[in-house]
Amino acid sequence: MQSRQQPQAAPEWWRNAVIYQVYPRSFADADGDGTGDLAGVRGRLPYLAALGVDALWFTPWYRSPQADGGYDVADYREIDPAFGTLADAEALIDDALALGIRTIVDVVPNHVSSEHAWFQEALAAAPGDPARDRFWFRDGKGPGGDQMPTGWTSSFGGDTWTRTEGPDGKPGQWYLHLFAPEQPDLNWTHPDVVAEHEAVLRFWYDRGVAGIRIDSAALIAKDPELPEVGEHHEPGRHPHLDRDELHDVYRGWRKVADSYGDDRFLVGEVWLADTERFMMYLRDDEMHMAFNFDFMTRPWDAAELHESIGATLAAHAAAGAPPSWVLSNHDVTRPVTRYGREDSSFSFLAKRFGTPTDLGLGARRARAAALLTAALPGVLYVYQGDELGLPEVEDLPEGTRQDPMHFRTGGVDPGRDGCRVPLPWTPDGDTYGFNANGAPPWLPQPEGWGSRAAALQEADPGSFLALYRDAIRLRRTEPALQGDGFAWLDTAPGTLAFRRGTDLTCVVNFGDAPVDLPAHTEVLLASAETGDGRLPGDAAAWLRA
């Protein structure tokens, strides 16, 4: 298939892009079955164009049993029927391109769905059959092989091995899954696994996709000896995290991306605390960028964010890679809720039911954080609904949660459903405009959800949506925000200020009391009123110097 061309191809356009994350199940439902779909996104493209984004990142839209929100992929070349068809995806890519909006798709290299043809073939095969070599099948330990091959812990909580059953009903080998049992891990030493994923990249690049987001990028390589996880491992030698050999995989992916031109890119989901190891993924023959989770997980604190921003900019400058800035995603508690808590940092291990939050305080801080991130050099990612100031829905009715994180921790972890509740588009109606016929959404929307609807916010110049639109517009039009120029300015404790270019200053007040604004000729944008020349607590402003 001949590759579709990107519109007005701009080399490395992604270095200063605004990328909007679409979780298709929850964005907009055109066919009225309660699940968001690609036709729903196509119908809302004018909204996204008005927001001013450069690209859309779609979480997996492929055929999937949805055991983990689509991250259990059964076939990368088919669209899940709940979302539409391959023709719908191609039309959406083309329609978005016509508006100057590119498309990024998610690829999940660590595992596939247990319904994937490869895994079904492996289950039907006998132990030792080559069909099993694409995965991690192993005999169990102990008498009768009743004990798991390792004691590794799943990222979702619980065990990482599930035992198979033979045709005679007797217990068989075990298979590895770092996530849910429905997500068997692939063996990346197998040439079929390498070749298939490179073919998948070409399949989507050929259809006009501009970028590939790589899920759980640091997990794909395993030590074939399958040792236990100890308290300490030498860098690159952990049994299943950030192993040195996985970089050869991404060098191969980079060659595929580069063969389509320098307007295509790779972005990795790399959860690593070690900055030096993190930056190895951004060498000039691997990924173009990676998500900056250090910044996202820090608390609302001037010193903490100053440290994170400084370290991020320094490391990325040395690598020649653009930094990314993100406040949340489909896995993380929304900023309006998180920033209203006594501990405003984020950790998966710390998520619990009943954690108090002050949504008014959280909203003020989330507005300020939006301006802080949008003013930084690099790539800005926005998760759907953050531009509406949506809070986490923490009181989902009993029996409606679907996230395996919740169930595999025995109900201790609330899971990630709270940030995935379908969006409110209109202030009224049974589904607040998510669909037209009122079919119950796949996750229930809370009462009063319509008060945060996009239609209401479009008419309110003081809304979250207006703030995001203005910030993104200024990122496009202000020369100071186009380049890499950045310099910290001296400020009092509890505040941050930095200069972009020669004439634009961003100042953020993390305290409770108002502070005087630095000398300026114009307030370009502020998250709260600054009419008296002072910046309120938990607020940010962009100033013309």
- List, by residue number, the catalytic residues: 215, 269
The answer to whether 114 and 183 have CB atoms below 8 angstroms apart is yes
Rounded to whole angstroms, how far apart are CA atoms 159 and 314?
A: 39
The answer to whether 386 and 327 have CB atoms below 8 angstroms apart is yes
Beta bridge partners of 102: 55
Rounded to whole angstroms, how far apart are CA atoms 522 and 514?
A: 18
- At CA 180, angle to CA 175 and CA 185, rounded to 5? 45
Relative to beta strand 211-214, strand 171-176 is: unpaired
- CA-closest candidate to residue 135, choices 153, 152, 148, 116: 116
Task: Provide the phi-psi class of 354: left if phi over 0, else alpha when psi is between -120 and 50, else beta.
Answer: left
Take residue 508 and report the two structure tokens written for it: 């953020």
3-state per-residue secondary structure call for 69-123: CCCCCCEEEEECCCCCCHHHHHHHHHHHHHCCCEEEEEECCCECCCCCHHHHHHH
The torsion angles phi and psi of 22, rounded to 5 degrees, stand at -105, 125
The answer to whether 521 and 531 have CB atoms below 8 angstroms apart is no
The answer to whether 41 and 83 have CB atoms below 8 angstroms apart is no
The answer to whether 396 and 443 have CB atoms below 8 angstroms apart is yes
- CA-closest candidate to residue 70, choices 160, 179, 211, 205: 179
User: What DSSP string runs through 228-267?
Assistant: PP-S---TT-SSSSS-TTHHHHHHHHHHHHHTT-TT-EEE
Take residue 359 and report the two structure tokens written for it: 């949504």
The answer to whether 114 and 107 have CB atoms below 8 angstroms apart is no
- CA-closest candidate to residue 370, choices 385, 359, 357: 385
The answer to whether 299 and 538 have CB atoms below 8 angstroms apart is no
